[in-house]
Amino acid sequence: MMGDASDNIPGIPGVGDKTAKKLLALYDNMEGLYLHTHELKGKQKEKVEANKDLAFLSKKLATININVPIEFNSNNLIRKEMNKDAVHSLFEELEFRRLAERWFGKDIPKRDDSFVGGGLAKVKPSKTGQIDLFVAEEIRVKNLF
């Protein structure tokens, strides 16, 4: 009934935390509230009745759908031997030196910062010593083909 701005749920205008709790205690749910709107008074009655569509939209937005098809196979949870070459290659690409040292007992050699993509293309660092990410990636992609 009450909105939640962080989740873009509008709620019923004028219904905050206290009012929503009171209405839920009296009518159990949104459907119960709208069956008994004749019992409400004044501005509250007007706002609740005028925003019925918004109220049910808010309920729909806040409802977590638990009826989704999920395929579960417990055999997929069995731990298998890792592809050490693929893992080492990924660690090298991402420069995960400490993880490589822990898993493989050796450090991955540092790359020369003036090279991108393992030395495929030379990129000049800026005055601050940093490489332009987008230029470097563009050169790396061009050198792959």
**Domains of the chain and CATH, by start:** 5-62 (1.10.150.20), 83-109 (no CATH), 113-145 (no CATH)
Nearest CA among 59, 57, 41, 37 for reference residue 49? 37
Nearest CA among 2, 29, 32, 34 for reference residue 17? 2
Which one is predicted more confidently, 143 or 34? Answer: 34
pLDDT at 47: 92
The DSSP bridge partners found for residue 139 are: none
Side chain identity at 117, as an amino acid letter?
A: G
Tokens of 143: 């050198």
pTM metric for this prediction: 0.47
* Measured distance CA(1)–CA(51) in Å, rounded: 10
Tokens of 47: 């706002």
Q: Which residue has the tokens 């749920």?
A: 9
pLDDT grade, residue 143 (50/70/90)? Answer: very low
